[in-house]
């Protein structure tokens, strides 16, 4: 097996670009890692050739190369979404290179345009098709069914309840401290300086009306941490599992450690398993936000209502909420359009009210 060749100039300019993303553009570490990984795929494809040796045919060949690659974990071909994401990152890099001394005489923006992803794949990525997600009742059912005999089980149950109560993303939830929770006012402060929020944004989220039982589970978990463990504001809301040698003389979960949960993928597995254990599809934690947008239909009546609901999800623009999470299920869409037709052909307001109550 031959070792991949590395070009020192490539490494140097790539490092400069990543520093630019961080310092000039304010990108998060996760976004910078994503860009670095994409650029590395192109660098490996070049097999030691210089980034300056860029031309349209090489860009087209690289796109064909990506289409032949396999997912390292599953062995399946790369999805159009993955290919499109990689191409966008590499295109952004070469767009930046085209303005850099020593590169702008070799690379033109017109040539960089050949790295544009396939239009059909881009349209599919940007579509606002309805995404399967748990209904509010399914969310309550899952939380009720989760075991709670052991401390770790209560933590897992409280975590899932918390996601539905706040709409928090996983990375933000596992970086929260007890001091960020205000039970008196039923809200959470997502401080972007210390909490891993998207784009390091800071905002306050009040508890969503997902159900008293769901909220009570979160309150009881916080009370347990404060009273039984004597934890303070600085301690994690969702601590990681403490592993040690148990009575069976094997490594096992012995409770919780006074350190925050750090692995979002393990949290996602717990979330999916909880749904599977109750006979439901293994939904992703990110679909929680779709659930909460669906819940808004039961509570929001005025533009101010929808604006407050959107801000509670951490969105500055209410259109972001409905573009990303507000699509209507196809069956519900057909049902609503039928009601609109009935209304338009002379049905009385009373008839329409009866339909809404079905």
pLDDT at 110: 95
- Domain with 113, as residue range(s), is 8-126
- The domain that holds 225 is classified in CATH as 1.10.443.10
Q: Are residues 118 and 217 in the same domain?
A: no
Three-class secondary structure of residue 347 per DSSP? coil
Q: What is the mean pLDDT of residues 135-156?
A: 96
Instruction: Determine contact, residues 305/299, Cβ cutoff 8 Å.
Output: yes
- pLDDT value at 127 more than 90: no
- pLDDT value at 71 more than 70: yes
Q: What is the mean pLDDT of residues 270-278?
A: 95
- pLDDT value at 238 more than 60: yes
- The domain that holds 43 is classified in CATH as 1.10.150
Domain count, the chain: 2
The DSSP secondary-structure symbol of 116 reads: P
Q: Are residues 107 and 189 in the same domain?
A: no
Reported as a single tens digit per residue, the pLDDT across 49-63 is 999 999 999 999 999
Mean pLDDT across the chain, nearest whole number?
87
Q: Is residue 287 in some structural domain? A: yes
Q: Is residue 113 in some structural domain? A: yes
Q: CB neighbours (10 Å) of residue 321?
A: 22
Percent with pLDDT over 70 in the chain: 87
- pLDDT value at 356 more than 70: no
- pLDDT value at 120 more than 70: no
- pLDDT value at 10 more than 80: yes
Q: How confident is the model at residue 344 (pLDDT cuts 50, 70, 90)?
A: low
User: Looking at 279, 296, 313, which one is the last position of a domain?
Assistant: 296
Instruction: Determine contact, residues 148/154, Cβ cutoff 8 Å.
Output: yes
Q: Is residue 309 in some structural domain? A: no
Q: Is residue 117 in some structural domain? A: yes
Three-class secondary structure of residue 252 per DSSP? strand
Q: Is residue 108 in some structural domain? A: yes
Q: How confident is the model at residue 134 (pLDDT cuts 50, 70, 90)?
A: very high
Percent with pLDDT over 90 in the chain: 62
Q: How confident is the model at residue 352 (pLDDT cuts 50, 70, 90)?
A: very low
- pLDDT value at 1 more than 80: no
pLDDT at 18: 96
Instruction: Determine contact, residues 323/128, Cβ cutoff 8 Å.
Output: yes
Instruction: Determine contact, residues 161/175, Cβ cutoff 8 Å.
Output: no
- pLDDT value at 257 more than 80: yes
Q: Which span out of 131-145, 244-258, 339-353 was modeled with the highest average pLDDT? A: 131-145
Q: How confident is the model at residue 79 (pLDDT cuts 50, 70, 90)?
A: confident
Q: Are residues 121 and 144 in the same domain?
A: no
Q: What are phi and psi of 77, to 5 degrees?
A: -60, 150
**Cα distances (angstroms) measured from residue 346 to each of 340, 341, 343, 349, 357:** 10, 9, 6, 9, 19
Rounded-to-integer distance, Cα 225 and Cα 169, Å:
22
Q: Is residue 131 in some structural domain? A: no
pLDDT at 325: 72
Q: Is residue 236 in some structural domain? A: yes
pLDDT at 214: 96
Q: CB neighbours (10 Å) of residue 343?
A: 14
């Amino acid at each position: 097996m031959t070792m991949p060749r590395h070009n020192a100039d490539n490494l140097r300019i790539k490092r400069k670009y990543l520093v630019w993303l961080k310092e000039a553009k304010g990108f998060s570490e996760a976004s910078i890692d994503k860009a670095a990984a994409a650029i590395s795929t192109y660098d490996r494809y070049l097999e030691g050739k210089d980034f300056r040796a860029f031309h349209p045919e090489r860009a087209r060949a690289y796109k064909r190369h990506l289409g032949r690659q396999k997912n390292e974990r599953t062995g399946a071909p790369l999805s159009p979404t993955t290919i499109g994401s990689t191409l966008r990152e590499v295109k952004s890099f070469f767009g930046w290179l085209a303005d850099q001394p020593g590169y702008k005489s070799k690379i033109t923006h017109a040539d960089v345009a050949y790295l544009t992803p396939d239009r059909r794949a881009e349209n599919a990525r940007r579509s606002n098709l309805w995404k399967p997600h748990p209904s509010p009742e399914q969310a309550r059912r899952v939380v009720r069914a989760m075991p709670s005999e052991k401390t770790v089980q209560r933590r897992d149950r409280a975590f899932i309840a918390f996601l539905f109560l706040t709409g928090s993303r996983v990375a933000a939830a596992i970086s929260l401290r007890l001091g960020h929770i205000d039970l008196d006012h039923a809200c959470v402060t997502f401080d972007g300086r210390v909490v891993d929020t998207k784009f390091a944004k800071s905002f306050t989220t009040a508890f969503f009306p997902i159900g008293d039982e769901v909220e009570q589970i979160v309150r009881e978990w916080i009370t347990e941490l404060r009273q039984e463990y004597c934890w303070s504001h600085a301690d994690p809301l969702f601590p990681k599992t403490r592993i040690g040698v148990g009575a069976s003389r094997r490594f096992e979960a012995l409770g919780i450690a006074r350190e925050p949960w750090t692995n979002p993928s393990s949290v996602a597995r717990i979330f999916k398993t909880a749904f599977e254990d109750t006979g439901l599809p293994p939904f992703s934690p990110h679909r929680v936000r779709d659930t909460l947008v669906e819940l808004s239909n039961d509570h929001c009546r005025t533009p101010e209502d929808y604006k407050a609901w959107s801000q509670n999800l951490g969105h500055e623009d209410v259109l972001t909420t409905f573009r990303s999470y507000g699509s209507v299920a196809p069956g519900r869409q057909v049902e609503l359009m039928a009601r609109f037709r009935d209304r338009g052909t002379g049905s009385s307001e009373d008839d329409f009210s009866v339909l809404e109550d079905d």
